[in-house]
Structure 1
């Protein structure tokens, strides 16, 4: 299998962390696919009609896309148990919350990096950041007991989402008022899988 990925993508990083955590490095080759919303990588587009990363190319079936689909597939392939039945809905909900942080934060990145300064909207950036901080606050206030439990996919998604905020939006300081989550990330970021996938 081949994973079409990019170092800076938090969604692709989720999958790459899972691959390391589940010891699937020999089963999945990571292929860098540089792409932008304005100039989609043609290999990526051939595999995924919406041209988004990550995309998993399989030998025995159509390509899989959307990070949550890929993560569920690889977790099942490895029998890793990162979507535990006894807390499946909590895991999926927290993963979706982390993905929502990534969605808003990536839109902010596109606004700042791809649009000319004179067309950038401060109101748009602030609206997306409000979504980010709402989700971060909810995780800090409601989900720390879950994050303190055994590793599952929601931990990986949350770690990648928060690390992306540091990577692209560090000046906005998501940590303010979210001390428990800040402390949790300091520990989670030391995992070998997180260190190995950190964007430059």
Structure 2
């Protein structure tokens, strides 16, 4: 697929960028990518450099060595896995669907957490009917993952695991006192074991602007 270097629009605070970074570690492709710090947010003017590569103005955006811009962490991660042949997304239907299903759940959970945080920072205040619904969905997602913790542990590491870990990492980053581990102890044990994996340990979400990560602590108690 070419030897030219790739470019990744990147932020250490983005859980979806973290998905890509974990896959870059897992595939051994990290050394072939230049990470470009790109600040984007729904309340900000679109980043011109990101917009030049991605009309949606979102990160992560990966530009391949051939100059093809790829959008969305799912597409980027699958491209990297195919490029490296690591099998994080298996070809066999059963294992593949398992990973895609967990990826959809993890990504969906992360989406809720991101829009929830934005809602909580509105000057007019959060719409409780909406945030109450999100709380129910987060709890239900954790309950399902708790029920499937043994399956997560028994299944070879893949893109679904990556997505779930990034969602749990977002909970820890923005809601560090929410108590999700007490609600899902088997899931917590699985997460603790995965936290020692080099690709996971090397990609912890961080705030590089000096602010506190727990800006909404206390809003998502279980």
Q: Report if TM-score (shorter chain) is over 0.5.
A: yes
Q: Does 1:137 align with 2:143?
A: yes
Alpha-carbon distance between aligned partners in 1 of 2:90 and 2:153, rounded to the nearest angstrom:
14
Aligned to 1:156: 162
Shift of 1:8: 1.1
The alpha carbon displacement at 1:140 in A equals 1.2
Q: Find the counterpart in structure 1 of residue 31 from structure 2.
A: 26
Higher helix share: 1
Change (3 A) 1:142 1:195: closer
What's the counterpart of residue 35 of structure 1? 40
Task: Compare CA radii of gyration and give the structure with the larger one.
Answer: 2
Give 1:61 deviation, angstroms. Answer: 4.2
Which residue does the alignment assign to 1:93? 101
For residues 194 and 35 of structure 1, the distance between their equivalents in structure 2, rounded to whole angstroms, comes to 24
Task: Map 1:11-160 onto structure 2 (within 5 A).
Answer: 11-39=16-44, 40-86=46-92, 87-113=95-121, 115-116=122-123, 118-160=124-166
Relative to structure 1, the CA distance from residue 171 to residue 125 in structure 2 (aligned partners, 3 Å threshold; closer, same or farther) is farther
Tell me the distance in 2 between the aligned counterparts of 1:85 and 1:140.
26
> TM-score, normalising length from structure 1?
0.92
RMSD of aligned alpha carbons: 1.5
Q: What does residue 219 of structure 2 align with?
A: none
The structure-2 alpha-carbon separation of the partners of 1:143 and 1:124, relative to structure 1 and needing over 3 Å to count, comes to same
Give the TM-score, by structure 2 length: 0.84
In structure 1, C-alpha distance between the alignment counterparts of 2:149 and 2:201, rounded to whole Å = 24
Structure 1 residues 176 and 123, CA gap change in structure 2 (3 angstroms): farther
Equivalent pair of 1:20/1:193 in contact (CA under 8 Å): yes
Equivalent pair of 1:107/1:128 in contact (CA under 8 Å): no
Unaligned 5+ runs, structure 1? none
Residue 135 of structure 1: how far off its partner (Å): 1.3
Q: Residue in 2 aligned with 1:9?
A: 14
In the TM superposition, what whole-angstrom CA distance separates every residue of 1:66-109 from its partner, at most 9, and x where no partner exists? 11000000000111110112310111011111001101011112
CA–CA distance in structure 1, aligned partners of residues 172 and 80 of structure 2: 27
